[in-house]
Amino acid sequence: MELSPLPIHRRLQIVFFTLLSSAVLLHPILTALLHLLTAHLLLTTATTLSAAVLLLLHLRSRPHPVLLLNYSCFQPPVHRKCTFEFANNFVLSPGRFTNPEPVEFMRNIYLKSGLGDETYGPPFMFEETQTPSLRNTLQETMEGVFATVDSVLSKTGVSRDEIDVVIVTCGGFSPEPSVSSLIVNRYNLRSDVKTYNLSGMGCSSGVLSVDLAHRILRGGGRKVRNALVVMTESITLNWYDGEERSMLVTNCIFRVGCAAAIITNDPSRRASAKMELIHSLRTHHGADDSAYRAAIQEEDNKGITGISLTKDLIRVASVSLREHIKILAPRVLPLSQLVRYVYSVLAMAMSSTGDLKPIVPDFTTAFEHICVHTGGKAVISQVGRVMKFSDSVTEPARMTLNRFGNTSSSLVFYELAYFEAKKRVKKGDKMWMIAFGTGFKVGSLVWKWVKDPESEPESDNPWNDSIHRYPLKTW
């Protein structure tokens, strides 16, 4: 029997009740799914927001790059040039040396030192009495410090109120009030400025003072933006009138010099900065007695104070340099050089004859420019031998020694000025500064140029009046 089709309204009722029954049966499942979807959406949103907040906090808390905004080197007046003739007449002045032996010894050292006729002596040498005094020492200090600080503030545009930290290094002169207090007073700096005085650290202290500024700026956040670093030395108080040969050497190689730099972590100043400090390292080898006494201030047998540079100094510098670069090398060398070095160490260990030695990595593959410690002719030559540097690599150090002598803490900045005067640097270049100091210490700074220098050297570059004569054909 054939059934007649259901009326349309009846079929609609059946569909409606079927859907209603299905909805009632599926309600718990749909509710659970809705809860799951909602929970997943909330979790995803919360995770995304948390990641964004953490990223923002990380970016805000991460130390900004530390930059060398600019620097200045002191160039004393022309009438302070210490030629060989002047130096010879000075040591022959009545009453200075009664015994001709120390005079002859200093002549020989001077002639072999690598110093030229354009280095600068301290003010007391050009006075009638030629007697070192506290007044002379303060004059020497203030001339260099004020000239370089005035210049670097003018060049950078950093105001006195923007200076948060003052670091002064002067190895042989620690007056009261301190030199940093002298600067605070002269420039009327803020009462909450943080000041540091480094003394007794020798020629490495310029590099170490920049390292200190680097560490302070990295940890100071936005509250500490700009550090003024001043690197100077007192030739006046370190002049030695005795007859001990190891102490007479300082009379022959140390000369007047001073440098000041503004180091900053302010990212808004990056466009006007010269270089970014990408690595710094300082090693101290004073636990070894021979290293500790390699360069030391003491009294001679007549009670006259001087700085003794012992015969062991060159050996100590060589050993300390090797230890220093063992730490520095993995941080800066390309992988190819590290692999070659490791291979040479393994070959030495496996050698039955024991005549193999590890190779010295080629540091010129990591740096376009190297500022070698300008401590003296023997020191530069020894660094060149240990590091396998060519004459072209040590040229800036040799020429700086000839033109300015050993200016102690500021010496690597006179080398930096040499590179700029020669127009040898460009954006992206890496530069290694290395210096040695009493204690015995070794310090390294690794910089990267963040912009091309100006087409012409700055007006206060200390090489402006002589760069056309360098490099010298003989040294």
What's the per-residue H, E or C state across 278-324? EEEEEEECCCCHHHHCCEEEEECCCCCEEEEECCCHHHHHHHHHHHH
Residue from 136, 238, 402, 406 carrying the catalytic annotation? 406
Would you call 279 a catalytic residue per the annotation?
A: no
Establish whether 284 is a catalytic residue.
Answer: yes
**CA atoms 234, 236, 238, 239: torsion sign:** positive
Q: Which two tokens stand for residue 259?
A: 């440098």
Q: Alpha-carbon distance 376 to 295, whole Å?
A: 13
Residue in the block written with tokens 């060519």? 390
Q: Are strands 226-232 and 165-170 parallel, antiparallel or unpaired?
A: parallel
Cα angle 154, 160, 164 (rounded to 5 degrees) comes to 120
**Cα dist. 59→62, 217, 219 in Å?**
5, 16, 14
> How big, in percent rounded to 5, are the helix, strand and coil portions of the chain?
50, 15, 35
Q: 19: which 2 tokens?
A: 């859907």
Q: Is 285 a catalytic residue?
A: no
Spatial CA neighbour of 174 closest among 238, 126, 129: 238
- The two tokens of residue 207 are 């590099």
> How far is the C-alpha of 241 from the C-alpha of 247, rounded, in Å?
9
Residues in the chain: 475
The single residue of 203, 252, 258, 371 carrying the catalytic annotation is 203
Query: Has 373 been annotated as catalytic?
Result: yes
Residue tagged 């108080």 (tokens) = 237
**82 catalytically annotated:** no
Select which of 214, 285, 324, 369 is catalytic: 369
Contact 258, 152 (CB under 8 A): no
CA distance 173 to 236: 9
| CB distance 414 to 259 below 8 Å | yes
Q: How far apart are CA 72 and CA 315, in angstroms?
A: 33
Q: What is the CA radius of gyration of the chain?
A: 33
- Which of 214, 285, 324, 373 is flagged as catalytic? 373
Three-state DSSP class for residue 40: helix
List residues with catalytic annotation.
203, 284, 369, 373, 406
